[in-house]
Structure 1
Amino acid sequence: MQVFDTVVIGAGVSGLTAARLLAQAGQRVVVLEARDRIGGRTWSHRADGYVADRGASWIHGIDDNPLADVVSAFGMRTAEFTVGSYQPDGRPIAYYGPTGERLDDDAVQRFADDIRHFDEHLAAAVDASESHGTYQEAIETALAGLAWDVDRAERVREFLLHRSEEQYGVWAGDLAARGLDDDVIFGDEVVFPDGFDELAENLADGLDVRLEHVVTRIAWTPDGVTVSTDQGEFMAARATVTVPIGVLKSGDFVFEPPLPEKHARAISGFEMNNFEKVFLRFPTKFWDDEVYAIRQQGEAGKWWHSWYDLTALDGVPTLLTFAAGPSAIETRSWSADQIADSVLEALRGVYGDQVDVPHQVLITNWQDDPYSRGSYAYMKPGAGADDHDLLATPIEGVLHIAGEATWTEDPATVTAALRSGHRAAQNILGRELPFGALTEALT
């Protein structure tokens, strides 16, 4: 049996961040990863010169963001793409009304102003909501207070419902009223033309990472842990656990004895979402020029309502859309051809016969991934925002849970994963650590 100071479970950004900082401090660290690759939910597809991020794509706001500093220090190439947080405007967006006409600039401005005005009322409705209140209930409360006409209210309502789906991959009626409280962006958003998983490659450099080690059990006492995998056992003074909420709740990952009640309660307040990406690469560009995104309002946009123009990343005409929330659930068993046909039919509602046949389609399948069981976590009604940090509270000094779901300010992001791994390392070492150390070579 192999013995270490710390066993880190999960080679995503959170686990690799913790492991790198601990190794730099002189600890004997091993990272156990169930998959045959590192990166977790940062996973970039590369084929025929094409790069597409299957998982995380954006840094949502680069101002005062340690993740932005880290990727810059690693020399990773970025491109500004500030529409990843479902903003109503701020960057050029082509809006199409319920009957298929493109809205002029004045109509878009009025709509965006409505969203901003509504958000002020929504914030008050969220603050006044009960603990088991839903985001949908808060939307309806805010709309009722405005007394807008039916069409005006419906355009805003559908925008907010789509925001819930695109931001958290969940129907608004299943999301806690405060589930989008963290939705504040500071500065530009950026994406990664060369693939976001370069971050994991850089963080893993020099670490002892064991791939295809599926952890099934963590036996723990105040004196240490024994981690059981399908390839043997590992002993250590402590473990840092960075697996997704879906794995923690699966029953295939066992703590012995069980986690303390407060941690178990916090885990129960989260659920993994239903969120998939659909990339379509075309021989020619048939959509609007000089826009970041295309959005369809009304019933025609119930499922496929937003397309993002990724052409600038590599020069090949490419649109990205999302199967998010209800559409991801409904299409989960569909073939790639069925999903592509459905998306193309929606596009024809906007562009008619101009819509070309894509020469490449890529569709993700995080819902069926046994090592994530969804794309990221969302907060269920009844859960509290402090459950994120509560989940990360060290247990007897030997168990440290980290990952995107354990950071309160901006959960469900790579920034949250990085920060949570950094926090776990600080808790273990008992001192503050600079983020800049992550880009230093291991000695």
Structure 2
Amino acid sequence: MSRPDAVVVGAGIAGLTVARLLSRHGRSVVVLEARDRIGGRVHTDRSDGTITDLGASWIHGIDDAPLFDAVRGFGMRSVEFTVGSYQPDSRPIAYYGPDGRRLDDAGAAAFAADVRDCDAHLSRRIADIGSGTSYAAAVEETLGAVGWSAERAERVREFLHHRTEEQYGVDARDLDAHGLDDDETLGDEVIFPDGYGVLADSLAVGLDIRLGHFVSRIEWGADGVAVHTDRGVVGGAVTVVTVPVGALKSGAIVIEPPLPEPVAGALGRLEMNDFEKIFLRFPEKFWDDDVYAIRRQGPAGAWWHSWYDLTALHGTPTVLTFAAADCARTIRGWDDARIVGSVLDALRDIYGDAVADPTQVQITRWQDDPFALGSYAYMTVGSTTADHDVLATPVGGVLHLAGEATWTDDPATVTAALMSGHRAACSILGRDIPIEDLWTPTQ
């Protein structure tokens, strides 16, 4: 068998993107994937007659967005759902105070205004500091400067900590202050009634993808690469490694010679988060029709504080909530029944007996996934935003890293995965190529 021009490790969005672009520009490519499916952390479950995105769900802003251009190019259906970036308002959100009563419109608006005011001060504060300060510390400095009452400051502090957990799956004390620098949504957000997995399926058409190939070792040098799997060795001129940070740091794949600086340092400063999804489908809605999300304030919302109404996707009354950071780590060993009971207790604290038992439950276990070991990467205290791009520095002209953790402008997203795959393809080809080549029909 002839040696391919490129060996891509991982059939997630980054790997499929680079493979498709290289293939369309005349290069021979082999994609090695340990799982029995493609998509990586874009994983649409279609069991039991339902369609559920267990991994990525949203496009966070569709204005001037190559990813949205791609999904439109592939003919994917989408539904507007603009609360994925943990906005305090902009869409109807039902806020319930620490006493369990819903805030009236004036109270919710006043709270949202406080969040936006604090955010403006916080952004200026973070712009003045380098890496090495936690997001939590920056929040405290900002709240101390605005001079609000203890109760008013606590509600905003709580919101900012919950936002950190939902955006990056990490406690604000463990995230560098610059870890949310990319937190900007331009335009509406959308989700996909047919599943995000349609994107992976579309990218994969025509590619040589070998499932169930466990890569254990990658050797690289001036004469190319040798990728060792449980089914033999695949040699190539170059390799693109797109596995998650968790897998890269676990030691499951040995890279020889080891990654040099500055790539190794950048990898060392990024970590995988603890973040899970819980989907609950109910026989009927017990929440208001006019809200996108339900949010609980106060100590009762320490874990379960936000629920998102996904009914518009398929017409089935459905809410999604997240377990992040300490919550995700604590429930890791719980069975599904115990997790569901905890979530239902929180909902019933608001809605009482109106909350029936769910008809269907789906809970992710990304922390236990051996090929991911978490949901996505975050910046530890002391890392810099540049570490994402540094991680993608080509090594020896033959080894490239790509994936959501390697794109500075919008890390931890499918956009980052797509754009990093495009960048790797351009680097290998030695020229810029239009990203539209992904979805434009060949002549």
In the superposition, the TM-score normalised over structure 1's length comes to: 0.99
The residue number in structure 1 matching 2:75 is: 75
Does the Cα contact within 8 Å between 2:222 and 2:398 map onto a contact in 1? yes
Does the Cα contact within 8 Å between 2:6 and 2:239 map onto a contact in 1? yes
Does the Cα contact within 8 Å between 1:2 and 1:235 map onto a contact in 2? no
SS in 2 for 1:361: strand
Does the Cα contact within 8 Å between 1:30 and 1:208 map onto a contact in 2? yes
SS in 2 for 1:48: helix
Q: Whole-Å Cα distance in 2 between the matches of residues 16 and 47 of structure 1?
A: 24
The residue number in structure 2 matching 1:105 is: 105
Q: Whole-Å Cα distance in 2 between the matches of residues 129 and 231 of structure 1?
A: 50
Does the Cα contact within 8 Å between 2:7 and 2:240 map onto a contact in 1? yes
The alignment's C-alpha RMSD in Å is 1.0
Q: Whole-Å Cα distance in 1 between the matches of residues 105 and 47 of structure 2?
A: 39
How far did residue 436 of structure 1 move? 1.4
Question: Deviation per CA, 1:350-370, whole angstroms, max 9, x where unpaired?
Answer: 101111100100000000000
The residue number in structure 1 matching 2:332 is: 332
How far did residue 126 of structure 1 move? 1.3
Q: Whole-Å Cα distance in 2 between the matches of residues 3 and 43 of structure 1?
A: 31
Q: Whole-Å Cα distance in 2 between the matches of residues 27 and 355 of structure 1?
A: 56
Q: Whole-Å Cα distance in 2 between the matches of residues 441 and 252 of structure 1?
A: 38
Q: Write the letter of the residue equivalent to 1:78.
A: S
The residue number in structure 1 matching 2:141 is: 141
Q: Write the letter of the residue equivalent to 1:331.
A: I
Q: Whole-Å Cα distance in 1 between the matches of residues 323 and 48 of structure 2?
A: 25
Does the Cα contact within 8 Å between 1:404 and 1:413 map onto a contact in 2? yes
Q: Whole-Å Cα distance in 1 between the matches of residues 395 and 312 of structure 2?
A: 47
How far did residue 326 of structure 1 move? 1.2
SS in 1 for 2:367: helix
Q: Write the letter of the residue equivalent to 2:60.
A: H
Q: Whole-Å Cα distance in 2 between the matches of residues 288 and 337 of structure 1?
A: 26
Does the Cα contact within 8 Å between 1:166 and 1:322 map onto a contact in 2? yes
Q: Whole-Å Cα distance in 1 between the matches of residues 260 and 424 of structure 2?
A: 18
Q: Whole-Å Cα distance in 1 between the matches of residues 131 and 186 of structure 2?
A: 28
The residue number in structure 2 matching 1:20 is: 20
The residue number in structure 1 matching 2:362 is: 362
Does the Cα contact within 8 Å between 1:402 and 1:417 map onto a contact in 2? yes
Q: Write the letter of the residue equivalent to 2:354.
A: Q
Does the Cα contact within 8 Å between 1:228 and 1:234 map onto a contact in 2? yes
Question: Deviation per CA, 1:64-92, whole angstroms, max 9, x where unpaired?
Answer: 00000010010001000000000000000
Task: State how 1:154-173 maps to structure 2 within 5 Å.
Answer: 154-173=154-173
Does the Cα contact within 8 Å between 1:23 and 1:442 map onto a contact in 2? no
Q: Which runs of 5+ in 2 are unaligned?
A: none
How far did residue 381 of structure 1 move? 0.6
Does the Cα contact within 8 Å between 2:403 and 2:420 map onto a contact in 1? yes
2:300 is aligned with 1:312: no
Q: Whole-Å Cα distance in 1 between the matches of residues 241 and 130 of structure 2?
A: 32
Q: Write the letter of the residue equivalent to 2:153.
A: A
The residue number in structure 2 matching 1:321 is: 321
Q: Whole-Å Cα distance in 2 between the matches of residues 98 and 128 of structure 1?
A: 34
The residue number in structure 1 matching 2:32 is: 32
Runs of 4+ aligned structure 1 residues displaced above 4 Å come to none
Does the Cα contact within 8 Å between 1:2 and 1:233 map onto a contact in 2? no
How far did residue 48 of structure 1 move? 3.3
The residue number in structure 1 matching 2:84 is: 84
Task: State how 1:1-400 maps to structure 2 within 5 Å.
Answer: 3-400=3-400
Does the Cα contact within 8 Å between 2:73 and 2:440 map onto a contact in 1? no
Does the Cα contact within 8 Å between 1:86 and 1:167 map onto a contact in 2? yes
SS in 1 for 2:333: coil
Does the Cα contact within 8 Å between 2:166 and 2:324 map onto a contact in 1? yes
How far did residue 397 of structure 1 move? 1.1
SS in 1 for 2:271: strand
How far did residue 130 of structure 1 move? 4.2
Q: Whole-Å Cα distance in 2 between the matches of residues 200 and 345 of structure 1?
A: 37
Q: Whole-Å Cα distance in 2 between the matches of residues 296 and 68 of structure 1?
A: 32
How far did residue 2 of structure 1 move? 5.4
Question: Deviation per CA, 1:399-442, whole angstroms, max 9, x where unpaired?
Answer: 11100000001100000000000000000001111121111456
How many aligned residue pairs are there?
443
How far did residue 156 of structure 1 move? 0.1
| Overall identity of the aligned pairs, in % | 62
Q: Whole-Å Cα distance in 2 between the matches of residues 32 and 2 of structure 1?
A: 16
Question: Deviation per CA, 1:215-237, whole angstroms, max 9, x where unpaired?
Answer: 11110102200000011101111
Q: Write the letter of the residue equivalent to 1:235.
A: G
The residue number in structure 1 matching 2:435 is: 435
How far did residue 47 of structure 1 move? 2.4
In the superposition, the TM-score normalised over structure 2's length comes to: 0.99
SS in 1 for 2:95: strand
Q: Write the letter of the residue equivalent to 2:227.
A: V
Q: Whole-Å Cα distance in 1 between the matches of residues 135 and 112 of structure 2?
A: 20
Does the Cα contact within 8 Å between 2:37 and 2:211 map onto a contact in 1? yes
Q: Whole-Å Cα distance in 1 between the matches of residues 329 and 158 of structure 2?
A: 18
SS in 1 for 2:34: coil
Q: Whole-Å Cα distance in 1 between the matches of residues 431 and 394 of structure 2?
A: 14
Q: Which runs of 5+ in 1 are unaligned?
A: none
Q: Whole-Å Cα distance in 2 between the matches of residues 98 and 179 of structure 1?
A: 28
How far did residue 3 of structure 1 move? 1.4
Q: Whole-Å Cα distance in 1 between the matches of residues 33 and 47 of structure 2?
A: 24
